Amino acid sequence: MPFPMRRREDQILRARRRRRGLFILPSLFTAFNIAAGYYAMSQTLQGALNESWHFDNAAKAIGFAVVFDGLDGRIARMTNTTSDFGRELDSLADVIAFGVAPALLAWMWGFRLLDVGGRFNVGQLGLIFTFCFLMAGAARLARFNIQKNPEPSNPGRPGRKYFVGMPIPAGAGVVCAVVHFADGRPLQYWWEGVGWGAVILATAFLMVSTWRFYSFKDIDLRSRHPFQFIVLFGGLIALIWYFSEYVLFGLAVVYVGSGLVARFSYAVRRRGPPPPPPPPPAYPAASELP
């Protein structure tokens, strides 16, 4: 009799270890997210005019952090290992990797090395612009954590899942896509800094807005997909591998543009003429009555 009992205890112990390992797995990807953000900050601080590759490395690191952030949540849901600790850790990781790191990169790359030429100091304004970006990202995360089933101000198609406001990883992706598109070469003229400040402020506004942005959460990787989907996904990976500067910049423009188009098209539909009233019900004539 002791042997079956011992076997049963061993099975329970192995199940507990397996369960503990499943809980560690999402947190491991969150740790990768934090590490990528920390590496991006270290590379940003080393960037200079003659060492612009540090800025490009920082942008790439934040791009990898976006991938890790998408994986940790999906793995937690697929393995049914979501927890309050994991959610809080993920939020703190997002502030570091998608708030502090891109804000620092946006200032060092776009404002610190500007040649103001005796004009107003755009670099000091850049500190304010990038701080607004950081605060908008933190506020976006705080709002996401306390809201349950939020509805955007411009509702979308029923059955689809949307973000209310552009998510902070996408905001960081806009910064990194622009820096990577420029191959890390920092801005040098004050008028470029003005344009870059407008991009930063617009991104901050989109993060705290209530406009809808597609979340891609209704794509279930566990279900069957047609072969064409696999080919398209593989082709996208290949394009990013060989032409990352252009493809990532294009994806950032398309994603931001999709939110803008959805919002303005909804506003146009609301301002249009009201639909005509329904026709009155047709009653039979007196001669037709029995």
- In sequence order, the β-bridge partners of residue 51 are 48
Model pLDDT for residues 234-288, shown as the tens digit of each residue: 899 999 999 999 999 999 999 999 999 988 888 887 775 655 666 666 655 555 5
Model pLDDT for residues 53-94, shown as the tens digit of each residue: 999 999 999 999 999 998 888 888 777 777 788 888 999 999
Domain ranges of the chain: 15-270
Confidence at residue 1, expressed as pLDDT on a 0 to 100 scale:
46
Residue % of the chain over a pLDDT of 70 = 78
Find out if CATH 1.20.120.1760 is the number for domain 15-270.
yes
Q: Which pTM was predicted?
A: 0.81
Burial state string for 259-287 with b = 16 or more CB within 10 A and e = fewer than 16? beebbeebeeeeeeeeeeeeeeeeeeeee
- Binning pLDDT at 50, 70 and 90, where does residue 122 land? confident
Per-chain mean pLDDT for the chain: 83
**Inter-axis angle of helices 190-208 and 101-110, nearest 10:** 160
- Alpha-carbon span 236 to 144, nearest angstrom: 29
CB atoms within 10 A of CB 9: 10
Give whole-number Cα distances, 182 to 127, 177, 191, 244, 248, in Å: 21, 9, 16, 11, 12
